[in-house]
Structure 1
Amino acid sequence: MPKPRVPDANSGLSDQAVSRAARVSRVSRADKPVRPDKRAAILDAALGLFSRFGLHGTSIDQVATRAEVTKGNLLYYFANKEELYVSVLRDLLDVWLAPLREFSVDQAPEQAIGDYIRRKLAMSRDRPDASRLFCLEMIQGAPLLGTILDGELRTLVEQKSDVIRAWVADGKLAPVDPHHLIFALWGTTQHYADFAVQVSALTGKTLKDVAFFAQTVENVQRIVLQGVAVR
């Protein structure tokens, strides 16, 4: 004889409803998936606060409030404030260094350097807080970014220094030390973010002014490219 069915907590539900309930239960027990939009909101909020108040002047609660998430949500993505701070710096370095990564021996140096200047000035215009945060970290001795500077950044700069040396060896650039050229590019383009108040006070304009931005790009390109042009 068939074994009688034992009633359970799902009795009275259709098989389809039971199956759906089981799936929901499994999902609720699984690890929550990372939501890029929420993580991005946290990073953006942290950047705005860290660039103004520094690591020690910013609290997790402040970041959570600005990002419109709970403190628990924030700590789900980042274990602590230091991890969040380093993540912000890593993200902005990835964006900043993208134009430098594109340097190659096959490029015309005038085109590569000119494009680099334009893109870096656009970053200074659009995300001055990122430049200011990096500057603040350097002034403090890079306590949390030191290993990245000595590792990933140094490796990239050495690789692109070899590209610049190849341009010089091929007679495409005047003899120039690659490190000093890269430092000059960084310092000149980021000046318009780090010292935006001074630039505005002296010129009455900012990079948000379309004409002033174009004028800045043209002048910085000319100054740098004439300095490294073959004579």
Structure 2
Amino acid sequence: MPDPKTKKPSRIQMRNRRLILDAALVVFSRDGYGGATLDAIAAGAGLSKPNVLYYFEGKTEIYVTLLSQLVETWLDPLIELDPEGDPVEELLDYVRRKLDMSSDMPAESKLFAGEILQGAPQIRQHLANDLKPLFEEKCAAIQAWIDQGRLAPVDPAHLIFSIWATTQHYADFDTQISVLLDREDPFDRARAHLEQMYRKLLTP
């Protein structure tokens, strides 16, 4: 049987890989890495277990592939924080984009949170090599805005942590929020609340 990784994949191969990754996202975000099984992933993808193993060597390769794609997506809003823009509006746009990701990508957020809670065994290098330099660059940009009097004095690192906490919470704790708000969609109110809170915090 030819190795699908050694030549350009066909449309069917690309479709099947996407089916596997989509099913795996559901299984890993629901059951965690330890609880996930290839049988569950195969069932979710509508494929046989041997068919899944044709495309991926095993559960770990599927998991690492998902996380690698997710890290790139997760970094995009922070990458686009523009040091030349209006400080308050740039940061509010970052808050909005992170909240939109919680609304649109709850399974991805839970997958990422689960990996971090386990000590980031699969993405520690990504955190060190990709996130840390970007984080330090954006902290420096925020501090420059503060030094210029264009932003209220805040701790740049903990501002970013707070944005992560207040936006990703809506994905990672959606079950609790659903119970407390009687299944009301929280995102419209969350957007208004977070914008008001961060605008007051950040406006010099």
Same fold (TM over 0.5): yes
Task: Give the 3-state SS of the residue equivalent to 1:55 in structure 2.
Answer: helix
Q: Deviations over 1:203-222 (max 9, x none)?
A: 2244xx3xx42221011111
Letter in 1 for 2:16: K
Task: Give the 3-state SS of the residue equivalent to 1:56 in structure 2.
Answer: helix
Q: Distance in 2 between matches of 1:111 and 1:37?
A: 39
Q: Distance in 1 between matches of 2:111 and 2:183?
A: 22
Q: Distance in 2 between matches of 1:126 and 1:93?
A: 16
Q: Distance in 1 between matches of 2:8 and 2:42?
A: 19
Q: What's 2:141 paired with? A: 163
Q: Are the structure 2 counterparts of residues 118 and 87 from structure 1 closer, same or farther at C-alpha, using a change threshold of 3 Å?
A: same
What is the RMSD computed on CA atoms of the aligned residues? 1.9
Letter in 1 for 2:99: L
Work out whether residues 23 and 41 of structure 2, in 8 Å CA contact, stay in contact via their aligned partners in 1. Answer: yes
Letter in 1 for 2:126: I
Equivalent residues, number:
197
Letter in 2 for 1:223: M
Structure 2 unpaired stretches of 5+: 1-5
**2:177 is equivalent to residue 219 of structure 1:** no
Q: What's 1:57 paired with? A: 35
Q: Distance in 2 between matches of 1:153 and 1:228?
A: 23
Larger Rg computed on CA atoms: 1
Out of 33, 47, 61, which is 2:9 matched to?
33
Q: Deviations over 1:123-182 (max 9, x none)?
A: 211221111121111111112221111221112211222221222122211222221011
Letter in 1 for 2:44: R
What TM-score do you get using the length of structure 2 for normalisation? 0.87
| Identical residues among aligned pairs (%) | 44
Answer with 154-163 or 183-192: which moved more. 154-163
Q: What's 2:71 paired with? A: 93
Q: Distance in 1 between matches of 2:183 and 2:120?
A: 32
Runs of 4+ with deviation above 4 angstroms: none
Q: Distance in 2 between matches of 1:117 and 1:37?
A: 33
Q: What's 1:116 paired with? A: 94
Deviation at 1:32, TM superposition (A): 5.6
What TM-score do you get using the length of structure 1 for normalisation? 0.78
Work out whether residues 103 and 163 of structure 1, in 8 Å CA contact, stay in contact via their aligned partners in 2. Answer: no
Task: Give the 3-state SS of the residue equivalent to 1:54 in structure 2.
Answer: helix
Q: Distance in 2 between matches of 1:155 and 1:80?
A: 32
Q: What's 1:74 paired with? A: 52
